[in-house]
Amino acid sequence: MSALFRQTGWFSGRRRGRPARAGRLLTRALLGLMLAVVCGYAAPGESLITSSTAEPDDPVTAARKLATSGHRAEALEILNKRLAEKRTDSDARTLRGIILSWEGRYDEARRDFEIVLAAHRDHGDALPALINMEMWADHPQRAEELSRDALRRNPNEPDLLMAHARALKALKRNREALNDVQHVLLVDPGNKKAVQMEADLGDSLRRFTASFDHNDQWFSDGRTPWHEEQVQLSRDTPIGSVIARFDRASQYGESSQMVEIDAYPHIRPGTYLYLNAGYSPDNNLYPQTRFGADINQSLGHGFEGSAGIRQLHFGSNIRIYTGALTKYYGDWMFTARTYITPDSIGTSRSGQLQVRRYLSATDYYFVRVGYGSSPTGVTSLQDIQILNSQSFAAGINHSIGRRFMVMADFGYSYQDRVGITGLHAYSADGTFYYRF
């Protein structure tokens, strides 16, 4: 077009025998005509801007935008008004149920979902929303029933299969859950959530863990280092894990062995026990017998408390009372523990603080500080010789694939022992785990 303007002379604003003003007016007219062709003509009496203005949102769309931007009260107000006008609007009722479930108002949300499902029993939004809400409300049995009933009519629906698997997992029926997830992968091989859940469920069905641990301690006065190994086999059971362990220690040319059993039985939701029993046939570096018991209780708001007792027989009985308080905060765990040991010359007290930072469900690193005669508890002849100490340790626990895990930690302590003060002790510990 500009070439055409140049050929005719209009672009320069000149034409033989006509003033420049006329050229400018014609140019403007042509440009206006081009804009009208490109943008479309406006209706009579209406500007182009007015004709392109979008229609206002319908009530459900407006409420959804408000709810997802944090304005839930305003969204509920719009939906309440809409349902007062049209009670059969299933989209409005489903959205209201979803928002109510986000607010923790489960009984009200359930009523909305059930009204929708009474008219449309496989409603694509209300049914999964109700299943999710029952899981949030800690009703996995009801979620399992709902998803199982829907699967009778839609046996190959991936979302329903995953919902059923999550409910089964919450009910500790992991093998059945794995069957559902594998069914999902048959009909939808690229489902990433199913791939991840299959791996997690496979891990949960590996009931045994074997481990080997090696610990060394060195001392600043040149005494013989302490060496200790542990071989352990643990088994997950429906009532809690059970652990069998064999310990072997050596120092000063002597060696000692001990066999132990640990158990962590669940009593009720939020309550479990720790039980320990050990026996050393030689009674050289380990106590002849060792017993321990703790009760652990969830206190809510991320807190857990425990209280217990340890008894060791080194020719005579040593009794130790212990208590701990743990706080979970996001990816962090903070634990404070104390040991109280009464004897004929008085009562000794020790304390320990540990901070753990989780990187995943199994990976974490930690630091630990302690003070007193037994800041990490009494387990051997090494420990009962300590009169007072200040200690520090740091370590890491790391998974390698789905079956292997390693843990390593290093520590330092400043100790007063029988016959020596100001002893520096250094330790290194490594553990290798295998799940099967």
Q: Is the pLDDT of residue 91 over 90?
A: yes
Q: How big is the chain, counted in residues?
A: 436
Per-residue pLDDT, 14: 36
pTM of the entire predicted model = 0.66
Question: What mean pLDDT do residues 36-58 have?
Answer: 41
Per-residue pLDDT, 378: 85
pLDDT band at 376; cut points 50, 70, 90: confident
Residues in CB range of 208: below 8 A, 6 or more apart: 233, 234, 235, 236, 435, 436
Q: What is the pLDDT of residues 239-290, one digit of tens each?
A: 999 999 999 999 999 999 999 999 999 999 899 999 999 999 999 999 999 9
pLDDT band at 173; cut points 50, 70, 90: very high
- Please give the CATH architecture assigned to the domain spanning 65-198: Alpha Horseshoe (1.25)
Superfamily of domain 208-435: Outer membrane protein transport protein (OMPP1/FadL/TodX) (2.40.160.60)
Per-residue pLDDT, 38: 37
Question: What mean pLDDT do residues 137-155 have?
Answer: 96
Query: Six-digit token pair at 431?
Result: 């553990």
Per-residue pLDDT, 305: 98
pLDDT band at 209; cut points 50, 70, 90: very high
Per-residue pLDDT, 377: 84
Query: Six-digit token pair at 287?
Result: 């106590």
Residues of the chain with CATH 2.40.160.60: 208-435
Per-residue pLDDT, 361: 85
* Alpha-carbon gap, residue 110 to 97, rounded angstroms: 7
Sort residue 157 into left (φ over 0), alpha (ψ -120 to 50) or beta: beta
Per-residue pLDDT, 375: 81
Q: Is the pLDDT of residue 54 over 70?
A: no
Q: Is the pLDDT of residue 213 over 90?
A: yes
Residues of the chain with CATH 1.25.40.10: 65-198
Instruction: Please give the mean pLDDT across all residues of the chain.
Output: 88
Per-residue pLDDT, 32: 47
Strand partners, 289: 279, 313
Q: Is the pLDDT of residue 412 over 90?
A: yes
Per-residue pLDDT, 26: 42
pLDDT band at 344; cut points 50, 70, 90: confident
The position carrying tokens 């029933």 is: 145
Q: Is the pLDDT of residue 19 over 50?
A: no
Per-residue pLDDT, 56: 55
Q: Is the pLDDT of residue 347 over 50?
A: yes
